[in-house]
Structure 1
Amino acid sequence: MKKIYLLLALALVQFYAFAQTGSIRGTVTVKGKPLEFATAALKGTQYGTTTNEQGVFEIKNIKYGTYQLIISAIGYRNITKSVTVSEAKFFQELTLQGEELENSLAEVVVTGTMKEVSKLESAVPVEIYTPVFFKRNPVPNLFESLQNINGIRPQLNCNVCNTGDIHINGLEGPYTMIMIDGMPIVSGLSTVYGLSGIPSALIERVEVVKGPASTLYGSEAVGGLINVITKKPSSAPLVSADVMGTSWSEFNTDLGVKYKVGEKAQSLFGLNYFNFQRPIDKNGDGFTDITLQNRISLFNKISFDRKDNRVFSIGGRYVYENRWGGQMQWTPKDRGSNEVYAESIYTKRWEVIGAYQLPIREKITFQFSANGHNQDSYYGTTPFAAQQYIGFGQFTWDKKIAEKHDLLVGTALRYTYYDDSTPATSLDNVNAPSKVVLPGIFAQDEISLSANHKLLLGLRYDYNSIHGSILTPRLNYKWTSADKKNVLRASFGNGYRVANVFTEDHAALTGARKVEFTEELKPERSWNGNLNYVRKFFLSNGSFVGLDATAFYTFFNNRIIPDYLTDPNKIIYSNLAGNAVSKGISLNIDFSLANGLKVMTGATAMDVFQREDDGAGNLVKMTQLLTEKFTGVWSVSYSFQQIGLSVDYTGNLYGPMKLPVLGPLDPRPEYSPWWSIQNIQLTKKFNNGLEIYGGVKNLLNFTPTKDAIARAFDPFDKGVTFDDNGQVVPTPNNPYALTFDPSYVYAPNQGIRAFAGVRYNLFK
């Protein structure tokens, strides 16, 4: 009987406890759309859950009391609301409007499949970076802003003029396609000079695809692509401004203005102006540490309102830049002389891009772009003049067939005209500009095998007017777990590239080396396999942890590799008699804690090499120049929301890379040291849209050694002795048999500096 009484007592206690609990139910939306996988948690308790596909959450069996309800999702501002669960409020129904901070979960991507799709559903892994990410380390151009993205490294190619390109997973700049709004606007000449001057006030986001994308985008998308997507005028601020200066006397201005054009069109105008006119020589080698620049970029984009929200937009950009680097005493009157060395570059560039959806029932869109690039340069006494014109147009048909097939079919035509003053565009000493016509057709089918399995098949055929037919297939597979917290993507594809010597290596035009071709260059071909795994952890206290791991392997045939080592006075171009490989693993880890701390960190370990025939039929492995085996990046941010103050600590770490030394007597190390660039920033936000920020860049004051420029004191090789074969002869004045050469470069020469700026955004 006692046992029965005890059981009854326990039942009464449980009933009483249950009777003293209630529930909270709510819906979370952003811009009117449900926010999936947001975390709803009661601060300081174990009560918590996540929102479903409709943005709905429900927390049950909550003890009576007053709590702080926290709604959080990576990429969005936290929502905090006081809620009371009591007998009078046994059940609460809430509707919460989230404030978007930066896209990460509910975002739409277009680069991987050339159509809008949520990042979660994309069969192609696409990384997204918004202005919030770039503001953590503000810089005056897109080239520098990519330095804190895992697996991407802006590589300087010259110590004097500071031009460079973008490496993805160890592959040089010519393997990276840069696009604006999906158009291949940045290529050839502008791969070196066109990455500057894109106004940051107009950037909506930057999408990155690592691995070949030639099936959709054709030549140059071999190592990966970077798509700069500009803002739609409808969602842009009425006025935006960002003005920044540094203790090195650098000055950068970004402006954006939205205005109407008639009743059915909105326009967005942007301006970027960068000025640096103070010669600085901290390392004492007699040369400017960084180039002096005067650059202005104008951008305007117009979007038209059309029936059924059909797309029609057109945009244009103009860039002018005057830059020079060289001996400190240089003036413009010394341009091209043999008395004072400098590299002086005038650049004029225009671009037009647009998209128009046909007024028919089917979703057929015409996209087009055109650009012209004119360059007038002197590298010491060596002139370099070049013109490049590219016209591009393509039709795409986006068609959903039944429930399982999502088809995209397209046809494209690209025309490239290129002419310069080097042997690259001459034939028997007669000028012969390069003219390439590249028509192509492509198709892809995204097949939904089931709710959790998706397969993407793609195939492209191009006909290059010089190199003939080129076929590029690809296959992608995606598996998603039932709770959508685990995603596995596997991809296999082919890429190709047709060489443009100017983009192969800027050192070809420094005036220190001659260009030599041993054969007619053939298109490069690559085969790539990627395996990507994403795991999301939603913690009950409102925190989030995300893991993103990738293994990659790329195999090249006919790879074009410039040879610096055979002759220190030449760069010799030829197709590799062998093969080349880029392989490695990368890992990204993101933390978004309920207390406001956000951490983004990543690391990539890779091995990039070529196997070359030694003439005896043996393949000899050689490490690729200027390519690190390890790179790491991080971004740590914390917000003091009560006072509107945030702190950002960003940085990167690079392992040793093989450097282009000038022969066996060169005393400079063959490998670079481990090095790191780290920055810290404070930002104060006000309620009226005003922000004030400032901090310190390159906290460790790391710079390369001052002997990075070989024989900087003799840039015209007046004290160098050559033999009858053009080889350098060691002499008492030149015991190491060196010539002037600025290509021994792996890190920027700019040391520690303070910066400060102000931002302002005015919305209607």
Structure 2
Amino acid sequence: MLRNKLLLTLCLIFAGIGAYAQTGSLTGRVLNTEGEPMEWTSIQIPKLGIGVSTDKKGEYVVPNIPFGTWEVEVMYLGYNTQKTKLTIGSAKVIKNFTLESSSENLEEVVITGTLKEVRKSESPVPVTIISSKMFQRNVTSNVLDALYQVNGINPQINCNMCNTSDIGINGMQGPYTMILIDGMPIVSSLSSVYGMSGIPNSIINRVEIVKGAASSLYGSEAIGGVINIITKDAQNAPRFFLDYNASTWGELTGNTGFSANMNDNISTIFNVDGYYYNTPKDLDKDGFMDKTLQQRLSFFNKWNFKQKYNKAASISVRYYNEDRHGGELGWDPAHRGFVEYNEYDNDRNSGGYNGDYVLPNGYSIYNEKYAKGFRVPRFLNESDRSEWKKEVSAVHPDAAFAEDMKYQESIYTSRLEIVGRWQLPIKENVTLQASYNQHDQNSAYGTELFMAHQKTAFGQAFWDRQFGAHTLLAGASYRYVWFKDNTIASNNGTKPFETFLPGVFIQDLWKMSAKTSLLLGYRFDYDQTESANGNHQNAVHSPRVAFKYAPDSQNAFRASLGTGYRVVNIFSEDHRALSGQYEATFGENLNPEKSISATLDYEGRVATEDIGLTYSMGAYYTHFFNKIYPKRDDRNRTLVYYNVDGNEYARNIGASADIALNFNFPLRLTAGVSYNQAELFEYERDDEGNKVGDKIEASDFEFSPRWMGVYSAAYDFTPRFTVDLTGEWKGPMLLPTQGTMETFDAEGKVTGSMTDPRPERSPRFMKMNLQLTYRVGNVEIYGGVKNIFNYIPKNLLVNVDDPFNDRTAVYGGLQFDTEYNYTAQQGRTGYAGIRYRF
């Protein structure tokens, strides 16, 4: 009996071993959603520790798999991993897989390039997408500061006192960039200077950037490109969220918001955002603040509505208020609004200073409602100062005086924005859009008062439908701009600047084949402008063509050709024209600028078992006609705006490259570099802008670096702990200097000269930032250091002892100015914050 039991046991053991020894193979193909084979895709059975990769045909064979049911993982960087259970019960099991891309950059829906929602990978117009997650890698208080991380984008500080800024694309200056909010031209010329710093990151879902002319869709100002800030919808927002941080410079930033579903079809989101900085710093010891003091508050509310036929509607309102000022330390706010009483006759040909006091136009306390009184000139001694006040009091007995007034630039801003979008609840695709903004600004640049009010209304309707391989889009728009200030732009407030801009546009997106697509567009605008400079009407034609060729899912070539035009607005042109440092005038019959632009782009992807690589390269060329350019006369402190004409022209040519690397361990690297050459080719001109020679000379645009770049690295030490390294670098750029200025005695005779010690071009520099983020449930705690190497620009100001130019107005020499700048003066800054979502 025992022997029989032993034999039975041995038989069962060997039978089990034999059964386990039975194996089969798993074979098949891996394709993407376009039906193309995917090489280097990983096929793994984790429990057995075995795996293989696909070949060029996307085929694979996993041999020697024991019979049984196993979990199989199919992985490819940039695509969603597939996990499935398969039973191996025969010698050969066939299984094919189709992977979907998980890359936000490739598959996210974009709208800016074509005005119609399309997948980024299918758009013939290259669109750069900046997600809200990217803004969190290096925390900033507003979108202007966040865009430093984008290759080819150049946020530029234009004033060392008030930190006015704009955003250039591909080497062009800020006025050539059109800023949209939810597809609407809500950012007007006034807000493009100060309002950009008031758009908080907390309301942004993503930013889409189109580089190159886009006037066929968006009209005026879109010569350099378009930045479309797309705000959050309530459906995609957490029910409650907050984000607060503080810095070692004394900056406090905070935002709080919530979202709610009122019913199945209506939802809303509300956000309050604030920024406070009131700690003056002067690290370079020049007597002036390194960073503008700011207090701002922003309220944002958006409603989303679902309708029949899967159509949507939305309306949003944002109110923004800011108080900012910068300048000399020790400024007394009570001195804000005191103006100049005297202007000296400084005509060297008529004998120089004649001692007469002339009341500046519009700045007497009796005809300027914002003026409080007169500033007492700084250079007068005690006895001359007493005599001066007696003479003024004899004319204005009730005049108030500001003794020892410090130079300060103070700006009060109040702004309202309303944006609406309505897809008609019908079967046809018809969309109505409308926006309105009102911007009020009260500024004191030293003793120059700038009071400006702007209202902009915009309406647009368009229809689109697909006809086979063609997607047709057609529409009409109307834009009205009302602008009034106390400068020559509106004849010192007596003649508002008004623009009436009706337009029509049409576009055809033709899917020629699975690999090629062609976009053809045309826009017609009739520009009617009424201003103190005169009235003009212009019929503007803006054609556009874009072509895309994608031989496979890993490579895409894009080319585009388009035109642009732009109407000059003095406020958005040059801060020097407003701060009193220069007197601005317009040349006769100043016409809108026109341009033609061409771009060429390539995007590619490579993936292996270990890395995923995305790279892109691009080149561009823009040629300007009727280029509007200011002729600067440093001696007489004048700016004359004129059109280049005849054989004169301006051009902008350059190239860029970007690379992004993902590894099969949690490391992500990105880098980008741009080269740009922006030049003006013009005849020699006199101080009034008149041509005096026949020789064409080339000169660089100011504030346009030839080389610039960005970089970043991110590593997840654990799923909860991430380290982010970000940075930028810039090469030399041409900056405004005064050259050599003559000095005079009291009789107007030349006594010598002074040479501006500041270099004409900025030095090369690099800035680096580090941030650590730790996540616990719905809470994120973060902290870091900005400008790790403490790079601070040096010697940005001249004549700091005489910022009102009291002496130089009579005796010549270098004059105080504020526009010489190439990067922020804020040094190394530590910060920490907390973020919560529920």
User: Would you call these one fold, judging by a TM-score over 0.5?
Assistant: yes
Distance 2:305 2:277 in 1: 38
Q: Which residue of the other structure, out of 388, 410, 424, is the alignment partner of 2:475?
A: 410
Aligned 8 A contact 2:609 2:664 in 1: no
Residue pair 2:471, 2:510 contacting (<8 A) in 1 also:
yes
Name the counterpart of 1:519: 588
In structure 1, the residue matched to 2:650 is 580
Q: Is residue 491 from structure 1 mapped to residue 560 from structure 2 by the alignment?
A: yes
- Aligned-residue offset at 1:178: 0.6
2:549 to 479, 501, 517: 479
How far apart are 1:415 and its partner, in Å? 0.3
1:489-548 CA-to-partner distances (Å, cap 9, x unmatched) read 11000000011110011222222222122223210001000000111112233x210111
User: Taking structure 1 as reference, are residues 153 and 259 closer, same or farther at Cα in structure 2, changes over 3 Å only?
Assistant: same
Per-residue CA deviation, residues 300-356 of structure 1 (Å, 9 max, x unaligned), is: 110012112112110010000000001110132121344111100000000000111
Conserved? CA contact 1:214–1:495, under 8 Å: yes
- Structure-2 change in CA distance of 1:558 and 1:230 (3 Å): same
Residue 627 (str. 1) matches residue 704 (str. 2)? yes
Which stretch of the first structure deviates more once superposed, 435-444 or 41-50? 41-50
Query: Secondary structure in 2 aligned to 1:174?
Result: helix
Structure 2 residue corresponding to 1:672, chosen from 755, 759, 762? 762
Counterpart residue identity of residue 634, structure 1: Y
Q: Do the aligned residues in 1 keep the contact of 2:30 with 2:37 (CA within 8 Å)? A: no
Compared with structure 1, are the counterparts of its residues 125 and 516 closer, same or farther at alpha carbon in structure 2 (3 Å cutoff)? same
* Structure 1 position 545 matched with structure 2 position 613: yes
3-state DSSP of counterpart to 1:617: strand
Distance in 1 separating the partners of 2:141 and 2:278 = 15
User: What is the TM-score with the length of structure 1 in the denominator?
Assistant: 0.88
- Percent identity over the alignment is 39
Gaps of 5+ in 1: 1-16, 723-727, 730-736
Q: Is the 8 A contact 1:202 1:256 kept in 2?
A: no
Q: Secondary structure at the match of 2:763?
A: coil
Compute the displacement of 1:575 (Å): 1.3
Aligned to 2:52: 47
Corresponding residue for 1:734? Answer: none
Counterpart in the other structure of 1:469: 539
Partner of 1:557: 625
C-alpha deviation, 1:68, in angstroms: 8.7
Structure 2: unaligned runs, 5 residues or longer: 1-20, 339-374, 376-404, 530-536, 685-691, 741-754
**Alpha-carbon displacement from aligned partner over 1:167-208 (angstroms, at most 9, x marks no partner):** 101101100001011001112101011112323232111000
Tell me the equivalent position of 2:310. 309
Deviation at 1:590, TM superposition (A): 0.8
**What is the letter of the counterpart of residue 701 of structure 1?**
N
2:821 to 721, 745, 753: 745
CA distance in 1, matches of 2:36, 2:322: 44
Equivalent in the alignment of 1:257: 258
Cα pair 1:259 1:267 within 8 Å, conserved: yes
Secondary structure in 1 matching 2:693: coil
Deviation at 1:81, TM superposition (A): 6.5
**Deviations 1:8-56, CA, capped at 9 Å, x for gaps:** xxxxxxxxx9965324889999xxx99998985257987335999xxxx
Secondary structure of the residue aligned to 2:460 is strand
CA distance in 1, matches of 2:772, 2:35: 33
Distance of aligned partners of 1:27 and 1:237 in 2 relative to their CA distance in 1, 3 Å threshold: farther
Structure 1 residue 709 corresponds to structure 2 residue 794: no
In structure 2, what residue type is equivalent to 1:535? G
User: RMSD between aligned alpha carbons?
Assistant: 3.0
Aligned pairs, number = 717
CA distance in 1, matches of 2:493, 2:186: 29
Q: Which residue of 1 aligns with 2:510?
A: 447
Question: Residue 198 and residue 25 in structure 1: after superposition, are their counterparts in 2 closer, same or farther (change >3 A)?
Answer: farther
The equivalent position to 2:681 in structure 1, one of 599, 611, 619, is 611
Secondary structure of the residue aligned to 2:631 is: coil
- 2:488 aligns with 423
Q: Which residue of 2 aligns with 1:733?
A: none
* Cα shift at 1:641: 2.8
For residue 144 of structure 1, give the secondary structure of its aligned residue in structure 2: helix
Secondary structure at 1:669 match in 2 = coil
- Which structure is larger by alpha-carbon Rg, 1 or 2? 2
Aligned twin of 2:410: 344
Residue 209 of structure 1: CA displacement? Answer: 0.2
- How much does 1:263 deviate? 5.1
User: Which residue of the other structure, out of 601, 606, 609, is the alignment partner of 1:532?
Assistant: 601
Q: Does the CA contact (< 8 Å) of 1:684 and 1:693 recur in 2?
A: yes
Over residues 680-739 of structure 1, what are the superposed CA-to-partner deviations in whole Å (9 max), with x where a residue is unaligned?
Answer: 1111112x221111111001111111x2122122111123253xxxxx63xxxxxxx211
Q: What aligned pairs does 1:322-361 form with structure 2 within 5 A after superposition?
A: 322-337=323-338, 338=375, 339-361=405-427
Q: Report what 1:500 is aligned to.
A: 569
1:314 and 1:353 in contact (8 A); partners too: yes
Corresponding position of 1:379 = 445
The alpha-carbon distance between structure 1 residues 704 and 392, as it changes in their structure 2 partners (threshold 3 A), is same
Deviation at 1:79, TM superposition (A): 5.3
Equivalents in 2 of 1:241, 1:89: separation in Å? 58
Alignment-derived partner of residue 144 in structure 2: 143
Q: Say whether residues 1:589 and 2:659 are aligned partners.
A: yes
In 2, Cα distance between equivalents of 1:94 and 1:485: 21
Q: Which amino acid aligns with 1:555?
A: H
Deviations 1:445-465 (A, max 9, x none): 111221111111100000011
Kindly tell me: are residues 455 and 24 of structure 1, through their superposed partners in 2, closer, same or farther at Cα, counting changes over 3 Å? closer
**Correspondence 1:653 to 2:657:** no
Equivalent residue letter for 2:409? E
Letter in 1 for 2:804: F
Match of 1:112 in 2: 113
Q: Shift of the alpha carbon at 1:605?
A: 0.8
- Give SS of 2:286's match: coil
Q: 1:710 to 1:121 in 2, by over 3 A?
A: same
Q: C-alpha distance in 2, partners of 1:45/1:636?
A: 32
Aligned partner of 2:783 among 694, 703, 709:
694
Aligned 1:282-293 pairs, distance under 5 A: 282-293=283-294
Q: Distance in 1 between matches of 2:295 and 2:568?
A: 30
- Over 3 Å counting, the alpha-carbon distance change for 1:530 and 1:275 in structure 2 is same
Q: Does 1:296 align with 2:297?
A: yes
Distance 1:34 1:649, change over 3 A: farther
Distance 1:68 1:220, change over 3 A: same
Letter in structure 2 aligned against 1:387: H
1:104 CA displacement: 1.4
Q: Do the aligned partners of 1:39 and 1:71 also contact (CA within 8 Å) in 2?
A: no
Q: CA deviation at 1:677?
A: 1.4
One-letter amino acid of the structure 1 residue matched with residue 52 of structure 2: Y
Q: Quick one: which amino acid aligns to residue 640 of structure 1?
A: F
Q: Give the distance between the partners of 1:325 and 1:479, measured in 2 at CA.
A: 51
Aligned partner of 1:480: which letter?
A
- Aligned amino acid, residue 800 of structure 2: A
Partner Cα distance (2:157, 2:100) in 1? 42
Q: CA deviation at 1:629?
A: 0.2
Contact 1:336 1:379 in 2 (8 A): no
Please name the residue that 1:7 is paired with.
none
Flag the 1:233–1:505 CA change in 2: closer, same or farther, 3 A. same
Check the 8 A contact 1:42/1:67 in 2, yes or no: no
> Conserved in 1, the CA contact under 8 Å of 2:307 and 2:425?
no
